[in-house]
């Protein structure tokens, strides 16, 4: 029996349905796991995604794209293949793609995390025969603290900066991490401003029904005095630009899973590092794989050799797969915000 998924130079392919999942070259039919730029690319004739991804996909790929959306757990038939989307917990609207054909079930997880951050949805394990997983943080050293603990650290840092009459500049991805932080912020501490890229994404998500507050953008009309003691959320592209000069004196904090690595904060020229990721940590990756019950695991991006070898030692058929997905890197955010107003 032919496999239900194949790995091609255009991306992950389901031959019976003649459809690709998160392809990196133009194809006729693409199912999109989520709206980050390394998974949702321009140039497909038709897109299928979750309802909550619609506004952000249209913001980034164009209002006139041919896009069909479905709810979680809503099964549709594509040429005899039963297709459904299930929560991935990565960002708002992110989904795992379940494909069922002639008794075979494969799940393409895209990017995911298991902790419920209160905004992005709760990861849902899906039983299958074959599971495609990321391994962005596929090393045992990566184990995340609970989000409430990290938010307490962010709040304490902000208040400390206020005591020093400084602006707090918090670096986070414009889509995903910024929103989960905004959703959990104690805004009684002070005023929160957004970089234009974060502002645009926020407004698109709010228009699509996301439970987020409407926050002001940093603009020429906002005085330096207004910014003093505030919290400003911006993508990493802002760090080395003249845009940051308006906040001086300021303290820089970076929210990233890479902040767990000694020296990462210093290399990124940050005053504070907050260990927060929209990707599963090592325990989460292992828990997710086990929960699927899959015998065959395809490891697509991150520490692929380490994680696949570990899975083989545990008796799984695990394979490394070369893709163009980038995981938690600066590049995936930079490409997405390049043309968004600051």
Question: Are both 43 and 132 inside the same structural domain?
Answer: yes
Choose from 42-56, 268-282, 325-339 the range with maximum mean pLDDT: 42-56
66 within a domain of the structure (yes/no) = yes
pLDDT digit string (tens) for 158-206? 999 999 999 999 999 999 999 999 999 999 999 999 999 999 999 999 9
Same domain, 130 and 157: no
| Domain of residue 253, CATH code | 3.40.50.10890
- Per the CB < 8 A criterion, the answer to whether 73 and 50 are in contact is no
What is the model's pLDDT at position 335? 37
In the predicted model, is pLDDT for residue 293 greater than 50?
yes
Look at residue 335 and tell me if it is in a domain: no
Same domain, 114 and 172: no
Helices (H) and strands (E) in the chain, counts: 9, 18
What CATH number is associated with residue 61? 3.60.15.10
Could you tell me if 86 and 171 lie in one domain? no
Question: Model confidence at 261, in pLDDT bands (50, 70, 90)?
Answer: confident
Which pLDDT score is estimated for 326?
83
Residue that finishes a domain, picked among 274, 291, 321: 274
Domain co-membership, 233 together with 265: yes
- pLDDT classification of 334: cutoffs 50, 70, 90: very low
pLDDT for res 3: 81
| 320 and 206 within one domain | no
Q: Give the pLDDT confidence score for residue 126 in this predicted structure.
A: 98
Q: Are residues 65 and 39 in the same domain?
A: yes
C-alpha 33/C-alpha 22 separation (Å) is: 7
Q: What's the average model confidence in pLDDT over 17-32?
A: 98
The answer to whether residue 339 is domain-embedded is: no
Which of 256, 274, 292 is a domain's end point? 274
185: in domain? yes
Q: Looking at the predicted structure, is the pLDDT value of residue 332 above 80?
A: no
* Residue 31 and residue 123 in one domain: yes
Output b/e per residue, 290-306; b: 16+ Cβ within 10 A: eebebebbbbbbbbbeb
- Residue 218 inside a domain? The answer is yes
Same domain? 166 vs 18: no
Classify residue 75: in a domain, yes or no.
Answer: yes
Q: Answer yes or no: do 92 and 120 share one domain.
A: yes
Judged against a pLDDT cut of 80, whether residue 306 lies above it is answered with: yes
- Entry pTM: 0.93
Q: Do 76 and 158 have their domain in common?
A: no
Q: Residue 199 sits in which domain range?
A: 147-274
In a domain, 342, yes or no: no
Q: Which of 52-56, 294-298, 325-329 has the lowest mean pLDDT?
A: 325-329
| Structural domain count, the chain | 2
In angstroms and rounded to an integer, the radius of gyration of the C-alpha atoms of the chain is: 20
Q: What average pLDDT does range 208-236 have in this prediction? A: 95
**Mean predicted confidence (pLDDT) in 127-143:** 97
Q: Is the pLDDT of residue 330 over 50?
A: no
224-246 pLDDT, tens digit per residue, is 899 999 999 999 999 888 999 99
Given 253, 274, 295, which residue is the final one in a domain? 274
Residue 340's pLDDT band (cuts 50, 70, 90): very low
pLDDT score of 100 more than 90: yes
Q: How confident is residue 268, by pLDDT bands cut at 50, 70 and 90?
A: low
Q: Does 1 fall in a domain?
A: no
Residues 165 and 246 in one domain: yes
Hey, CA dihedral for 66, 322, 135, 177, is it positive or negative?
A: negative
pLDDT of residue 232: 98
């Amino acid at each position: 029996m032919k496999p239900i998924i194949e790995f091609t130079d255009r991306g992950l392919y389901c031959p019976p349905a003649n459809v690709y999942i998160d392809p990196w070259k133009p194809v006729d039919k693409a199912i999109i796991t989520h709206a980050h730029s390394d998974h949702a690319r321009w140039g497909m004739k038709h897109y299928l995604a979750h309802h909550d991804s619609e506004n952000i996909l249209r913001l980034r790929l164009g209002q006139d794209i041919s896009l069909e959306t479905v709810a979680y757990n809503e099964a549709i038939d594509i040429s005899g293949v039963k297709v459904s989307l299930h929560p991935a917990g990565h960002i708002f609207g992110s989904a795992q793609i379940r494909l069922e054909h002639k008794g075979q079930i494969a799940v393409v997880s895209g990017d995911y995390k298991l902790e419920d951050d209160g905004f992005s949805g709760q990861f849902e394990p899906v039983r299958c025969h074959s599971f495609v997983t990321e391994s962005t943080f596929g090393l045992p050293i990566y184990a995340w603290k609970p989000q409430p603990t990290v938010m307490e650290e962010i709040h304490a840092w902000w208040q400390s900066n206020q005591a020093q009459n400084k602006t707090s500049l918090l670096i986070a991805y414009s889509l995903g991490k910024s929103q989960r932080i905004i959703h959990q912020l104690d805004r009684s501490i002070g005023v929160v401003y957004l970089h234009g890229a974060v502002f645009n994404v926020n407004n698109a998500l709010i228009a699509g029904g996301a439970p987020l507050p409407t926050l002001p953008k940093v603009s020429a009309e906002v005085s330096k005095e207004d910014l003093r003691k505030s919290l400003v959320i911006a993508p990493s592209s802002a760090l080395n630009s003249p845009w940051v000069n308006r906040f001086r004196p300021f303290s820089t904090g970076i929210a990233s899973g890479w902040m767990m690595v000694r020296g990462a904060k210093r290399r990124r020229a940050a005053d504070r590092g907050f260990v927060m990721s929209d990707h599963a940590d090592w325990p989460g990756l292992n828990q997710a794989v086990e929960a699927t019950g899959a015998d065959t695991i395809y490891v697509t991006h991150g520490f692929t050799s380490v994680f696949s070898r570990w899975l083989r030692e545990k008796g799984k058929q695990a394979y490394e797969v070369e893709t163009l997905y980038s995981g938690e890197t600066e590049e995936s955010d930079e490409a997405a915000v390049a043309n968004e107003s600051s």
